[in-house]
């Protein structure tokens, strides 16, 4: 099969990066506009329990939508093609985000974010799969890092869009319009040649989610691929998202904005995601690059809890350092795509990151219910123990994970090279 090679700044890479940019803009927007949006829907911000209940409901519905969407779009990506997901998912989340700008109560808000979550779940996995299959293996790590790195600046765009407009409803509508505009760019993107070749072959099962659980080796690879990404959402979902609460424990008189902390963290994550592609290329190894960023995460976590954060500037800097250390998102998703054959690759690359996102409620369960409520620990001690457990699980999973840097992706499951 003759394969056309693309460069790291080719149209498929740029369009995938812009798609993920819009995806992250919409994904993080609720976190940034949470308080003003809930207040305008009748939630008293002085009632802490009411705020937590409403915000948790909305974000949980969004995450459940992403879990469901990850499976739906992953299966569709292997059955119908990578481009079908890139078109279908963006249409769904663009409409859902535009409609979010018109919600009138928390229940409507939750439903809107649920359907947006379903749509948002398909963007990264399909984009990473397409870029991985179109680029030569010597460049695919850098290409996928460019997709994630550029895309993650969508969080920065979301923060400043709200700061400039001051209108949370308008921010959601802008996200919807950006998505529809992106559809026109997608028209000129080509489908993966690997997928088209597999599609033409009879007898190959494509997009069967249950295949991950029918073979011990494949199941092991799938679970390990999920576990190596856990620190990302512990850092964002707990440490950065609750940075204002941690600041109250560290020093008096803080004025930390969670939205601003997330903006700094995601800007740093974007830099890390771009850099890790080149580091992986230098080491000729995905795992060595991953270990380096795990080391950064451990050092950043130690600093976060060291007692040296005494003012807002130091807290924002700590959030940026934590963000940079989790800038392995691109390599993590790429490794997930590289570990499975062409007939399951989109399903793997789409479900794996969404399983990690879906782990946040479980991490919060350990953080809040097990440690804070059951043991009566404060937020700092609970976070330290949660972080240690997450990091130990991740390091063990990384050790047993396959190195995929030099792997040829032109095969199907069960492993069989495509002629």
Q: What is the CATH number of the domain that holds 72?
A: 1.20.1250.20
Predicted pLDDT at 403: 93
Model confidence at 218: pLDDT above 70: yes
Burial per residue of 390-417, b for 16 or more beta-carbon CB atoms within 10 angstroms, e otherwise:
bbeebbebbeebeebbeeebbbbbeeee
Angle between helices 258-283 and 11-40 (to 10 degrees): 160
Q: pLDDT tens, 87-136?
A: 888 899 999 999 999 999 999 999 999 999 999 988 888 888 888 888 88
Poorest-confidence range of 156-165, 182-191, 289-298, 334-343?
Answer: 182-191
- Does residue 416 sit in helix, strand or coil? strand
Q: Which two tokens stand for residue 336?
A: 């997930």
Question: Which structural domain range is residue 39 located in?
Answer: 11-417
Average per-residue pLDDT for the chain: 88
Number of domains in the chain: 1
Predicted pLDDT at 390: 96
Q: Which residue has the higher pLDDT, 109 or 203?
A: 109
Q: Which two tokens stand for residue 170?
A: 């308008």
Per the DSSP assignment, residues forming a β-bridge with 411 are 417
- As a whole number, mean pLDDT of residues 50-57 equals 80
Residue 4 lies in a domain: no
Residue 5 lies in a domain: no
Q: pLDDT tens, 404-417?
A: 888 888 888 776 55
Residue 263 lies in a domain: yes
Comparing C-alpha atoms, which of 129, 153, 191, 172 is closest to residue 34? Answer: 172
Q: Which residue has the higher pLDDT, 28 or 401?
A: 401
* Pairwise CA distance, residues 165 & 157, whole Å: 12
Model confidence at 367: pLDDT above 80: yes
* Pairwise CA distance, residues 398 & 63, whole Å: 25
Predicted pLDDT at 1: 40
pTM, entire model: 0.86
Predicted pLDDT at 415: 62
């Amino acid at each position: 099969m003759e394969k056309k090679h693309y460069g790291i700044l080719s149209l498929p890479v740029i369009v995938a990066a812009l798609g993920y940019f819009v995806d992250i803009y919409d994904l993080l927007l609720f976190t940034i506009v949470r308080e003003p949006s809930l207040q305008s829907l009748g939630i008293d911000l002085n009632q802490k329990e009411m705020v937590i209940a409403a915000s948790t409901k909305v974000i949980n519905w969004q995450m459940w939508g992403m879990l469901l969407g990850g499976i739906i779009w992953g299966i569709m990506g292997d059955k119908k093609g990578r481009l079908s997901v890139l078109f279908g998912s963006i249409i769904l989340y663009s409409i859902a985000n535009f409609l979010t700008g018109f919600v009138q109560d928390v229940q409507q808000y939750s439903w809107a974010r649920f359907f947006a979550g379903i749509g948002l779940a398909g963007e990264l996995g399909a984009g990473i799969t397409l870029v991985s299959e179109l680029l030569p293996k010597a460049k695919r790590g850098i290409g996928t890092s460019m997709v994630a790195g550029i895309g993650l600046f969508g969080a920065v765009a979301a923060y400043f869009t709200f700061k400039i407009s001051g209108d949370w409803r308008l921010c959601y509508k802008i996200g919807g319009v950006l998505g529809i505009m992106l559809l026109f760019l997608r028209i000129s993107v080509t489908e993966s040649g690997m997928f088209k070749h597999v599609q033409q072959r009879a007898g190959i099962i494509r997009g069967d989610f249950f295949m991950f659980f029918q073979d011990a080796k494949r199941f092991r690879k799938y679970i390990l691929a999920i576990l190596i990404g856990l620190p990302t959402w512990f850092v964002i979902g707990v440490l950065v998202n609750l940075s204002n609460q941690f600041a109250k424990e560290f020093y008096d008189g803080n004025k930390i904005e969670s939205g601003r902390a997330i903006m700094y963290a995601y800007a740093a994550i974007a830099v890390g995601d771009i850099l890790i592609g080149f580091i992986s290329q230098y080491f000729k190894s995905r795992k060595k690059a991953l270990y380096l960023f795990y080391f950064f995460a451990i050092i950043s976590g130690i600093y976060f809890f060291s007692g040296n954060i005494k003012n807002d500037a130091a807290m924002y800097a700590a959030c940026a350092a934590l963000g940079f250390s989790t800038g392995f998102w691109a390599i993590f998703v790429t490794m997930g795509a590289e570990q499975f054959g062409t007939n399951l690759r989109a399903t793997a690359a789409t479900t794996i990151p969404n399983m990690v996102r879906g782990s946040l409620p479980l991490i919060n369960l350990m953080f809040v219910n097990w440690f804070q409520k059951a043991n009566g620990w404060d937020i700092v001690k609970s976070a330290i123990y949660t972080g240690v457990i997450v990091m130990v699980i991740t390091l063990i999973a990384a050790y047993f994970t396959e190195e995929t840097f030099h792997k040829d992706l032109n095969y199907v499951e069960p492993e069989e090279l495509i002629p």
